[in-house]
Amino acid sequence: MNGGTAPAGMPVLFEERPAGGGKRIGIATLNAPGTLNGLSLAMSHLLDDRLRAWSDDDGIALVILQGAGDKAFCAGGDLHGLYRGMRDYEASGSTDVRSNGYASEFFQVEYRLDYRIHTYRKPILCWGHGIVMGGGIGLMAGASHRVVSERSKLAFPEIGIGLFPDVGGSWLLQRVADRGGVFLALTGAPLAAGDAIHAGLADHFVAEAQRAAVHAALAAAEWSDDAGENRERLTGVLRQHAGSAGPGPLQRHRGLIAGLCAADRTLDEIVASILAIGDEDPWLANARQALAAGSPGSARLGFELQRRASALSLADVFRMEYIAALHCAAHGDFAEGIRALLIDKDRQPRWNPATLAEATPAWSETFFQAPWPAGDAHPLADLGSGPSPNGRTYA
């Protein structure tokens, strides 16, 4: 049970290991280290199917979710596949955002999988080693037990590719203390272990050298049929091996960030204030530069989504993000951002709208309009709401 190099073949590897109490531990390993375990549609399907099966299997006491290789748990979603789908949609001449079949299926399956993890009835341990970004945070955020190590780097970097912090990011970020979530959405600033825990995106700091010992302790523990007891037992094991992660720049600059992103300020005021930061702390400087180079439309969408998410359940946030994501895949900056970063690699995106003054609240309204006739069910209509077995409340 380690995160080392996994054999080629299936994009997700599944195994079951015997454990105490006559139970088994289910292990799912994202197996695409060459792409930093980027989450593809095939991976999402495989994970969702197996998690449903393990949920119904009384012999499985808990699930471990991890990534192959040393560099990343999951660096994000399948941008190349989404780009091909957007180009096909553009070539079709369609004006119906639902006709981008790949994006429609990709976001629906991914969000459904993420929500399943948030509300899973058995404990899930997600080992967030290395890079955990975008879609990787979507997989990790809902796990009952979220581990980060000394090499972890978490971020929502979507402003640089013309999207927005999705996978429930609107719900997660607007809960970060001191308005930190607004800053993180606008700048894509990365978080090391201590700041990830502070932001509510992780629970335990465990040194990477302790991973094998954690797995051995889990195999030796006595598991029961009671999921609540098993969650407590898993917490105990992790605490025995956990260390302390010191505060990072998000915490060191929390007062500054709270002032820059104050709730009574408009987005235009917040952006102007961030761009005017004079502190040359490298983390702040990189954040300022990322915002300056990022998509103005993404800045507006990320801001509006967090504002709207404050009054919604997690299920409703996923439904809202799904609509916005379809519009982004049809007529936003998403394709242009991927082109500049991954296809032509010129890093010279031509954003439209080109300025924040053009990316007005009125401009963003179209991204929240359901693309199906009134009375038709939302594709994610069956997602529930309310308290989760992991103890977090999603209403």
pLDDT in tens, 70-92: 999 999 999 999 999 999 999 99
Q: State the Cα–Cα distance between residues 136 and 196, nearest whole angstrom.
A: 13
Q: State the Cα–Cα distance between residues 114 and 288, nearest whole angstrom.
A: 30
The reported pLDDT for the residue numbered 7 is 52
The reported pLDDT for the residue numbered 373 is 87
Q: Give all strands of the β-sheet with 153-155 in edge-to-edge order.
A: 72-74, 131-133, 153-155
The residue type of 158 is E
Does this model's pTM top 0.75? yes
Q: State the Cα–Cα distance between residues 65 and 128, nearest whole angstrom.
A: 9
The reported pLDDT for the residue numbered 375 is 77
Question: What residues pair up with 15 in beta bridges, in sequence order?
Answer: 27
The reported pLDDT for the residue numbered 388 is 61
Whether the CB-CB separation of 110 and 42 falls below 8 Å is answered with: no
Domains, the chain, in order of start with CATH, read: 12-368 (3.90.226.10)
Catalogue the long-range contacts made by 42-50 (C-beta closer than 8 Å, 24 or more residues apart): 42/11, 43/11, 43/12, 44/106, 44/109, 44/110, 44/113, 45/109, 46/10, 46/11, 46/12, 46/14, 47/12, 47/113, 47/139, 48/109, 48/112, 48/113, 48/116, 50/12, 50/14, 50/26
Token look-up 């939302």 returns 378
pLDDT in tens, 43-76: 999 999 999 999 999 999 999 999 999 999 999 9
Work out the angle at residue 292's Cα, subtended by the Cα atoms of residues 131 and 80, and round it to the nearest 5 degrees: 45
The reported pLDDT for the residue numbered 3 is 44
The alpha-helical segments, DSSP class H, found in the chain are 41-56, 79-92, 101-118, 135-141, 169-173, 180-187, 193-198, 211-220, 227-241, 249-252, 254-260, 267-275, 282-293, 296-309, 314-331, 334-338, 361-364
The reported pLDDT for the residue numbered 386 is 55
Q: For the chain, which ranges sit under pLDDT 50?
A: 1-6, 395
Whether the CB-CB separation of 141 and 113 falls below 8 Å is answered with: no
